[in-house]
Amino acid sequence: MYLVTIGLEVHCQVNTQTKMFCACATSFGDEPNVNVCPTCLGLPGALPVLNRIAIEKTILSGMLLGCTTPPVSKWDRKNYFYPDMPKNYQTTQMDLPLCIGGTVPLYDHCYPSDAQKSIARPGQTIRLNRIHLEEDVAKSTHLGNSSLIDFNRAGTPLMEIVTEPDLESAEEAFAYLRTLQMILVQGGVSDADMEKGQMRCDVNISLRKNASDPLGAKVELKNLNSTSAVRRSIHFEIARQTEELNAGIAQIQSTRRWDDDRGETQMMRTKEDAHDYRYFSCPDLLPLDTAELVERMRQIVPESPHQRQARYEDDFALTRYDASVLSSDLQLARYFEAALHASIPAKKTANFLINNILGTINERGIAIEHCPVPPQSLTSLLELVENGTLAANQAREVFIVMLEQPDKAAAAIADELGFKPTDVGALDELCEKIIAENPDKVAEIQAGNERLLNFLTGQIMKASEVKPNPKMVTDLLRTKIIS
Ligand code: ZN
Ligand code: MN
């Protein structure tokens, strides 16, 4: 058995209309090489102009993840020769990135569904090293002996989000990516769709025998483009390295490629060190004074899912699970908050939403933001529960009809279904009658067999012309018979 150490570098496109250093469109799926200009083609003499929105959204991302932005940030050239990078350098950030530090909390519900019952470190937080902003490269496609290059993607703003080596398993890496996606998408800074290549992941993984040993040689898995590929490749790599180490084969620092079809990693090259890139400050772009930008972003930074979860737990006394379900989806959170009302405990609104509404609309393929029943109508429905007109299961029946007839008031539907506000006098009379008719049952209840209360409740429900709230009936019977 070896200890596994994993660090992730995630490249994530910032959702802007235009590219990082020019005004070309960033749209996806256009004809190849239509969204290009001398700057993003890297033609000699073309000069870059900074994209303010990309910088603002990167600073916002940092705020969502608890990073700090240094007062001055600057741009550097990372030099390498590659067909998808016509300038032969990438404009990026080396020593003064836009964001430093920060953390990503791993949400339970972001683990793979088959691993949610066996989370090794629940509530674990992964430290970030940095987030820097750079430009994406062109996209190359290899066909037989020729290669095709599409420069539409070249120059798209790209955040590189780098963790500390804090992850210990394939499942944590999976949960990290899903959590990060959720935070960035909800924050409106990236669409983070791995299928569209908007988010790509490099995995650094090493094994060692004991925690006191130095970290083992780092193997880098390049450009993984799905969360399942990340998970599978890490499983493969742990097994491969374990087998080699057991056979006495030392690992060397290297870069490997994941072959998704074969389900294995293959050696690409032994790794260049950072200085091979011969970084130097970009002579075309001035360092950036960030103070004013940071101040402005602070005014508009949205709540992150984990901040919302903490607020739900603190303010509404929701359980961690309920709070995480409601805060994981921005639309769901909005619906929940819009349905809240002083007359109903928030916990009851949350319970009804999670236990009765989500399943019902999922079955019908309705997303919460398209739910025909507006949150205010849910409030009216829950008020009927609160004032004793409806039991929770009756409210569910009313809700199902409301889905079909969203313009009709909850009370009117309850009425049509026979769920009438209980006439306390009539109910009292009926209770007395049933008690008088069942002296043997009453005696047994008084002797301690409280389950028979349900039997008597059933008798009353049958005899009643309206459908009273069964819990209310049982309570009334208990008071009459026991105390
Ligand atoms: Zn351009
Ligand atoms: Mn990068």
For position 396, what pLDDT does the model report? 92
- pLDDT number for residue 469: 81
Which ligand approaches the C-alpha of residue 274 most closely? 2
- pLDDT on residue 28: 86
Q: Quick one: which ligand is closest to 97's CA?
A: 2
Instruction: Say yes or no to pLDDT of 187 above 90.
Output: yes
Shortest CA distance to 158 belongs to which of 219, 101, 84, 102? 84
Ligand sitting nearest the alpha carbon of 134: 2
Q: Which of the ligands is closest to the CA of residue 9?
A: 2
d(CA 224, CA 475): 60
The ligand that comes nearest to the alpha carbon of residue 136 is 2
The per-residue pLDDT for 272 is: 58
pLDDT value at residue 335: 96
Query: What would the pLDDT profile of 134-162 be if each residue is shown by its tens digit?
Result: 999 999 999 999 999 999 999 999 999 99
Please tell me the distance between residue 50's alpha carbon and the centre of ligand 1 in angstroms.
12
Protein residues near ligand 1, an ion, with CB under 5 A: 22, 24, 37, 39-40
Predicted pLDDT at 229? 97
CA of 92 to the centre of ligand 2 (A): 7
pLDDT > 70? residue 119: yes
Q: Which of 4, 14, 9, 13 is nearest to 163 (CA)?
A: 9
Distances (CA, A) of 299 to 10, 63, 66, 295, 303: 27, 11, 15, 7, 11
Q: What percent of the chain has pLDDT over 70?
A: 99
Give 45-70 pLDDT, tens digit per residue.
999 999 999 999 999 999 999 999 99
* Sign of the four-CA dihedral 217, 222, 225, 229: negative
For 88, 447, 468, the CA distances from 477, given in Å and listed in that order, are 84, 15, 13
Instruction: Give the pLDDT of residue 422.
Output: 67
SS (H, E, C) the chain: CCEEEEEEEEEEECCCCECCCCCCECCCCCCCCCCCCCCCCCCCCCCCCCCHHHHHHHHHHHHHCCCECCCEECCEEEECCECCECCCEEEECCCCCCEECCEEECCHHHCCHHHHHHCCCCCCEEEEEEEEEEECCCEEEEECCEEEEECCCCCCEEEEEEECCCECCHHHHHHHHHHHHHHHHHCCCCCCCHHHCCEEEEEEEEEECCCCCCCCCCEEEEEECCHHHHHHHHHHHHHHHHHHHHCCCCCCCEEEEEECCCCEEEEEEECCCHHHHCCEECCCCCCEECHHHHHHHHHHCCCCHHHHHHHHHHHHCCCHHHHHHHHHCHHHHHHHHHHCECCECHHHHHHHHHHHHHHHHHHCCCCHHHCCCCHHHHHHHHHHHHCCCCCHHHHHHHHHHHHHCCCCCHHHHHHHCCCCCCCHHHHHHHHHHHHHHCHHHHHHHHCCCCCHHHHHHHHHHHHCCCCCCHHHHHHHHHHHHCC
pLDDT of residue 417: 87
Measured in Å, residue 412 CA sits from the centre of ligand 1 at 60
Compute the average pLDDT of residues 114-132: 95
- pLDDT number for residue 356: 92
Contact 353, 346 (CB under 8 A): no
Looking at every residue in the chain, the average pLDDT score rounds to 93
CA of 320 to the centre of ligand 2 (A): 36
Give the pLDDT mean for 440-446. 90
The answer on pLDDT for 292 being more than 80 is yes
Residue ranges covered by each domain of the chain: 3-298, 305-416, 424-481
* Nearest ligand for residue 130 CA: 2
How many angstroms does the Cα of residue 188 sit away from the middle of ligand 1? Answer: 24
What is the 156 CA–ligand 1 centroid distance (Å)? 9
Beta-sheet pairing, 199-208 with 72-73: unpaired
Q: What is the pTM of this model?
A: 0.82
CA of 38 from ligand 1 middle (Å) equals: 6
Mean pLDDT of 197-221: 94
Classify residue 159 as exposed, middle or buried by CB count within 10 Å of its CB (0-12, 13-18, 19+).
Answer: buried
**Weakest-pLDDT range from 40-44, 275-279, 348-352, 381-385:** 275-279
Residue range 382-439, pLDDT digits in tens: 999 988 888 888 899 999 999 999 999 999 998 888 887 667 778 888 888 899 999 9
Which CATH number does 424-481 carry?
1.10.10
Looking at all shown ligands, the one closest to residue 138's CA atom is 1
pLDDT grade for 277, boundaries at 50, 70 and 90: confident
Percentage of residues in the chain having pLDDT higher than 90: 75
